[in-house]
Structure 1
Amino acid sequence: MGGASRNALDLDVGGRTVRLSHPDRVYFPERGFTKLDLARYYIAVGDGIVRALRERPTTLERYPEGVTGESFYQKRAPKNLPDWIPTGRIAFPSGRFADEICPDEPAAVVWAANLGCLTFHPWPVRRGDTEHPDELRIDLDPQPGTDYTDAVRAAGELHELLDELGLCGWPKTSGGRGVHVFVPIVPEWTFPQVRRAAIAIGRELERRAPERVTTAWWKEERGEKIFVDYNQTARDRTIASAYSVRPRPRAPVSAPLRWAELPDARPEDFDLATMPGRFAEAGDVHAGMADRPCRLDAVLELAERDERDHGLGDLPYPPDHPKAAGEPKRVQPSRAKDRGVRRGRTSG
């Protein structure tokens, strides 16, 4: 560490000096973790989180006063961005553009942490080609009445399916009750095609375990099941990176895991205090993920069969997306039924 003043501290991060303002500011009151603790955490896992963020346009989830204060998502690079932190230009569904930061060294991560960034949300693309994702991300989201154990069970079934499709998945905790599985892919497919692949995988899981898994977009139709959130693959939708600290009282982190670890691991095992020790001992267990990109041909063939043999086409996009060709109506089923009843009464 370098010099300090009353309200600031200079940190040496990989040979760069990063100034940390108000290092004693408490970010997690329940645990007493400060901004300095957050910075030290990201230094300790620096190689891992940079592997997850490198060359990726990244949205910053900021809590300048800590988890009990106000927060916001920052998509555009801050105006005071140092010239040594690169950016990548991405296009939103609206057609507008933005330059987002692309952290490529631990100092960039610590610089963002100084702004109160707890969680990093990288796009599934590299800044050299922002139209073709190089990751298929599958979000297993427990619905009310289910929990992390249910998500783990669904992840095990997903693992088997991915193997059958020739896809290599890399699991991690979400930092909450869910499980994320990332599949590195050859960047040949567009966002709609990758989303179509996620839908096909979700539907196949649903067929194999209809009592436990759902792809229903409308919450009223999901029941007590694990929701495969296929829209996390839609343009401008991102998932918290590996090693990101999540904005919850106990400061949990999104922890990369080996498949063999998943059944016994618990989200509460991994937090700002414990992850540095795991990282020092095991290293980044997802370090080789980008070395094994997969092809989506088999899963897109599955999507074609779903449409041809079962009449299963597209599913609704998020409400802020433009209407897509072939997309079903974005009307909540109960409201659609209610409107139909009212129309019937009026015409009768």
Structure 2
Amino acid sequence: MGEPTRLTSPDRVVFEGAGYTKQDVVEYYRAVADWMLPELARRPLSLVRCPDGAAGQCFFQKHYAESLGDDVRSIDLMQKSGVEPYLYVDDIEGVTDLVQMNALEFHPWGSRIEDPERPDRLVFDLDPGEGTGWPDVLRGARDVRDRLRKLGLENFVRLSGGKGVHVVVPIAPGPSWDDARAFSDAFANHMAVQAPARYVATMSKAKRPGKIFIDWLRNARGATSVASWSLRARQGGPVAVPIRWEELGRVDGPAAFDLRAARRRAARMRKDPWEGFETLAQTLPVIG
């Protein structure tokens, strides 16, 4: 572990309107670290960095650089262009280093650095198209939940902090990325075929109005999904918050928690809303 990060420009406002500063961001991540790190640590990461705050120009970064900080780690991963250095963190000090470098969002792989070619979770992102409301998203999320359960897969729900919700499925490492992608593709397309007026499983924006896009494409090698407890680089400082299925109908939207509200929730929690997630050793079924 390197020396504790010295935060530069701690009073700089990162989320205009809400008034949250860079110091607020660091203190938030330290406050939720115990809940966030199990999903974040020791996984290849992509970041959303916003040097001019959430309202400015932001960019994704997935490659390691020494300038990111002493507690940010590097892992070499094979890509089509050859071996490339990706980044990951072990602990909250690494997260703090990345916030110092203006990282706001954290998007981990669905696999760990110890076995990056074997995913241990799947994510289905329910992205509502134009003309689709929050009640439609709730209905869709519960439909995904129930269909997965019929296949023997327990699953968990997260408010995305953006437009929709994520349904997350823990699996035992073993399937390849190709296996994970094939299952996710078949599952989402099966839903779209059975309920074409409600769902679409392709990225085509022309097909999305009035429907929910079941985004299964995050379940591919190198694709990522935002981590639970991660801030989103959006107005107001919303957070991607894991909740219990029983809570879903009591929230008013996917960005129901901002930085302050998410921090309060984390402080009050005595039990993980995703209790049991890490110990579920589920196997992927075959979709006939």
Q: Which residue of 1 aligns with 2:172?
A: 186
Partner of 1:167: 153
The correspondence for 1:142, drawn from 125, 128, 132, is 128
2:197 — aligned with what?
211
Name the counterpart of 2:94.
Answer: 108
Give the residue type in structure 1 aligned to 2:63. R
Q: Distance in 1 between matches of 2:7 and 2:133?
A: 38
SS, match of residue 218 in structure 2: helix
Which residue is equivalent to 2:52? 65
1:162 & 1:108 partners in 2: Cα distance?
A: 35
Q: Which residue of 2 aligns with 1:286?
A: 274
AA aligned to 2:133 is D
How many residue pairs were aligned?
286
Equivalent residue in structure 1 for 2:240, among 226, 234, 254: 254
The answer to whether the Cα contact below 8 Å between 2:64 and 2:73 also exists between their aligned partners in 1 is no
Give, in whole Å, the separation in 1 of the partners of 2:212 and 2:278: 27
Q: CA offsets per residue over residues 300-340 of structure 1, 9 Å max, x none?
A: x21xx3xxxxxxxxxxxxxxxxxxxxxxxxxxxxxxxxxxx
Secondary structure of the residue aligned to 1:20 is coil
- 2:120 touches 2:171 (CA, 8 Å); kept in 1? yes
- Please state if 1:76 is matched with 2:82: no
Task: Say if 2:62 is the partner of 1:53.
Answer: no
Pick one of 230, 238, 252 that aligns with 2:216: 230
The whole-number CA distance in structure 2 between the counterparts of 1:222 and 1:43 is 38
Measured after TM superposition, the shift of residue 191 of structure 1 is 1.4
Q: Which has the higher contact order (CA 8 A, sep 6+)?
A: 2
**What is the CA–CA distance in structure 2 between the aligned matches of 1:150 and 1:189, rounded to whole Å?**
32
Match of 1:41 among 16, 28, 41: 28
Normalising to structure 1: TM-score of the pair? Answer: 0.77
Q: Report the CA distance shift for 1:115/1:15 in structure 2 as closer, same or farther (over 3 A).
A: closer
> Could you list the runs of 5+ residues in structure 1 that have no partner in the other structure?
1-13, 306-348
| Equivalent position SS for 2:135 | helix
Structure 2 vs 1, CA of residues 39 and 228 (structure 1 numbering), >3 Å: closer, same or farther? same
Would you say the 8 A contact 2:165–2:254 is kept in 1?
Answer: no
The correspondence for 1:126, drawn from 90, 99, 112, is 112
Return the letter of the residue paired with 1:49.
M
Cα separation, partners in 2 of 1:97 and 1:160, compared to 1, 3 Å: same
Q: Deviations over 1:97-132 (max 9, x none)?
A: 322222221121121111111100111110011111
Which residue is 1:335 aligned to?
none
DSSP 3-state at the match of 1:273:
helix
> What are structure 2's unaligned runs of at least 5 residues?
none
1:263 to 1:70, Cα distance in 2 relative to 1, 3 A: same
The structure-2 alpha-carbon separation of the partners of 1:67 and 1:100, relative to structure 1 and needing over 3 Å to count, comes to: same
1:84 positional shift: 4.1
Alignment of 1:13-24 (within 5 A): 17-24=4-11
Moved more, 141-150 or 58-67: 141-150
Work out whether residues 167 and 183 of structure 1, in 8 Å CA contact, stay in contact via their aligned partners in 2: yes
Cα offset for 1:216?
Answer: 2.9
Q: CA deviation at 1:188?
A: 1.1
Q: Deviations over 1:163-210 (max 9, x none)?
A: 111111111011112111111111111112101111122123224433
- In structure 2, the residue matched to 1:336 is none
Equivalent residues in 2 for 1:295-306, closer than 5 Å:
295-296=283-284, 298=285, 301-302=286-287, 305=288
Describe the shift of the 1:85–1:287 C-alpha distance in structure 2 as closer, same or farther (beyond 3 A).
farther
- Superposed displacement of residue 83, structure 1: 4.6
Identity %: 35
Q: CA deviation at 1:87?
A: 2.8
Contact 2:68/2:101 (<8 A) preserved: no
Letter of the 2:39 counterpart:
A
DSSP-derived class of the 2:4 partner? strand
On the 8 A contact 1:89/1:130 being kept in 2, the answer is no
SS in 2 for 1:262: helix
Matched to 1:294, the amino acid is Q
Query: How far off its partner does 1:69 sit?
Result: 1.9
Tell me if structure 2 keeps the 8 A contact 1:53–1:241. yes
